[in-house]
Structure 1
Amino acid sequence: MPQSRRTAFHLGILLMAAAFMIWPGMALAQSMSFDLGTGSDATLTARLFQVILMITVLSLAPGILIMVTSFVRIVVVLSILRSALGLQQAPPNIVLVSLALFLTAFIMAPTFERAWNEGMRPMINEDVTMEQGVSNIIAPVKSFMLMQVGSGELAFFDALAARSFGAVKDPSGDPPSPPASPSIETSGPGGGAAAMDGKDLLAMIDRAAQMADGPAAGGGAENGGADAVSLRILLPAFLISELRRAFEIGFLIFMPFLIIDLVVAALLMSMGMMMLPPAIVALPFKVIFFVLINGWQLLAGSLVLSFAG
């Protein structure tokens, strides 16, 4: 075979190989399908709305879990402890948040197990409707909040809602819960729709403050149990109650460290060392005092027991 024909033959083979290499082939990527089912336009619209609502709830799930659990009280107390010790970045924020999350999971484990067994699992197995499953999930969380919320905060927001928006009706269809505190008489155009003035607000605060500061479980039972209290009233009352109790615990934590600061400042003044900051000298004493009394264990145990009963 002449050299020119041999070269042309080899060139043709190379061109055919290149053509096979660049020939488009079938992509073997995983296929995805999003089936909303068959039915009328109204059914498809309802299912699409359910999907959008579920995605929205999942995106807000971390914030919702923080609002309805013991996380708020724990993380506020831990932050106050760090301030009382005089430490700026030790422990770091990530450590405090992680500790608060683990303690929250420990405290809320019975509530989450009940919500899973009574609501989530039957809904996944399609034993109950989505509406009934969501209601069963909310019920144990609502019971936990009622056990922890102060009766004063619950009465205040109940009266505030009744004064501002009228009787609050529970979304489940139950009759509206009666105000936990006596109704507030107001004078103004429009009767119940009149704007609240300063005197009405002060009267409402005074009546709420006169109530017991204990948990509102008994009051909830008198009003028909957890179903008689609307989440619209329970959520802000629970958050305010958690912040109040966190500050009460923080005050008790601050006192021994404040005494150490005062003693160190008095000693430095008596020795004429006024240029030396007392906070720097008191810091190691506060740290070793907290370590010697096994402060972390005491604090964690106290926080967990504060949610018992």
Structure 2
Amino acid sequence: MTAQGTVAQAATGAGLSVSAPAVAAPAGASAAVGVPARPRPPVPPAAPSGPASPDGPGVSVQIDGEGAGRSQAVTIIVLMTVLSVAPALLLLMTSFTKIVIVLGLTRQAMGTPTIPPNQVIVGIALFLSLFVMGGVVKDVNDQAIQPYLSGRVTMTQAFDRGEAPLRTFMLRQTGRQELQTMITLSKSPQPARREDVSFTTLLPAFVLSELKSAFIIGFVIFIPFLVIDLVVASVLMSMGMMMLPPVMISLPFKILLFIMVDGWSLITTALVASYQQGG
């Protein structure tokens, strides 16, 4: 006999009633014992909602028109092209060519081929070119660049306006012989005026004129230094000092002469005056 049966009999004998605690069936379980619960049917997925209305909340992406994107791309291409050809424009269409050649010939005439260094020579030539071309740069900026940036003129009109001051400067510095040579080589008809010559013919003629002027100035600079070399070499020959290089003796005298006459100021004045007289 179990302990529960003993407690039940004792309770019955004592006149007490004992009820067993009810055990709740698990949710979803069948009333019958031993029968498995039936599975729930699957819930169908919710249908996708349609696109949000324009008035309702949402994210909208707006793409600019094709013209705006094309204009920006063309502007970037033009700027990259200008930056790539800027060194050629600086060398061929300004006074940089003549100035750097004259400064280089001056260095050679003094007998110091590495002093001043190339960086100093190029830097001096660059800033002297900016000084000489200041008026032309201002005209190009006022007549072409600023109107184009403000949208008042088109790119073609800006190029035409910017070419006019530069063409005027180049024509003033171009000799008749060099210009006629390039016209003959191009086999183009003779223009009625100098101003009617094409830009592709004017550019090489301007470069030839700049080279000619630079070498003429360089020849004049070489003469006093050459005289010093001849004098020093003659003195050394007369003294029988054959093994002593004349350059070592003449170099201090050439530097002294260059300092006494204020050579750099004379050369700078001659270069700037050559463009002012041409104008």
The normalised TM-score by structure 1 is 0.66
CA distance in 1, matches of 2:151, 2:197: 28
Q: Trace 1:275-290 onto structure 2 (pairs within 5 A).
A: 275-290=243-258
CA distance in 1, matches of 2:70, 2:152: 23
Superposed displacement of residue 51, structure 1: 3.6
For the pair shown, the structure with the greater C-alpha radius of gyration is 2
1:214-263 Cα shifts (integer Å, max 9, x gaps): xxxxxxxx5162xx121110111111111111011100000110000000
Q: Which runs of 4+ in 1 moved over 6 A?
A: 43-47
* 1:67 and 2:78 are equivalent in the alignment: no
Q: Trace 1:5-16 onto structure 2 (pairs within 5 A).
A: none
* 1:259 and 2:227 are equivalent in the alignment: yes
- The aligned residue for residue 79 of structure 1 is 104
* 1:124 and 2:149 are equivalent in the alignment: yes
- The aligned residue for residue 218 of structure 2 is 250
Q: Trace 1:157-176 onto structure 2 (pairs within 5 A).
A: 157-162=182-187, 167=188
- The aligned residue for residue 268 of structure 2 is 300
Change (3 A) 1:281 1:149: same
Q: Kindly, what percent of the aligned residue pairs are identical?
A: 44
The amino acid that maps onto 1:71 is F
Change (3 A) 1:224 1:63: closer
- The aligned residue for residue 59 of structure 2 is none
Of 158, 171, 187 in structure 2, the residue corresponding to residue 146 of structure 1 is 171
Q: Trace 1:181-200 onto structure 2 (pairs within 5 A).
A: none
The amino acid that maps onto 1:282 is S
1:250-293 Cα shifts (integer Å, max 9, x gaps): 00000110000000000000111111000110000000000000
* 1:101 and 2:71 are equivalent in the alignment: no
Superposed displacement of residue 135, structure 1: 1.1
CA distance in 2, matches of 1:71, 1:140: 17
Superposed displacement of residue 50, structure 1: 5.3
Superposed displacement of residue 111, structure 1: 0.5
- The aligned residue for residue 33 of structure 1 is none
- Runs of 5+ consecutive residues of structure 2 not aligned to the other structure: 1-62
Q: Trace 1:28-39 onto structure 2 (pairs within 5 A).
A: 38-39=65-66
Change (3 A) 1:113 1:46: closer
The normalised TM-score by structure 2 is 0.73
CA RMSD between the two structures? 1.9
CA distance in 1, matches of 2:259, 2:64: 62
CA distance in 1, matches of 2:260, 2:75: 55
SS of aligned partner of 1:274: coil
> Aligned residue pairs: how many?
215
SS of aligned partner of 1:275: coil
- Runs of 5+ consecutive residues of structure 1 not aligned to the other structure: 1-35, 168-177, 181-221
Superposed displacement of residue 61, structure 1: 1.3
1:45-72 Cα shifts (integer Å, max 9, x gaps): 6764554243112221122122100000
CA distance in 1, matches of 2:227, 2:106: 15
CA distance in 2, matches of 1:138, 1:282: 48
* 1:179 and 2:218 are equivalent in the alignment: no
CA distance in 2, matches of 1:249, 1:48: 46
The amino acid that maps onto 2:117 is P
Of 262, 269, 272 in structure 1, the residue corresponding to residue 237 of structure 2 is 269
Q: Which moved more, 1:44-53 or 1:293-302?
A: 44-53
SS of aligned partner of 1:127: coil
CA distance in 2, matches of 1:37, 1:115: 33
| Greater relative CO, 1 or 2 (CA 8 Å, sep 6+) | 1
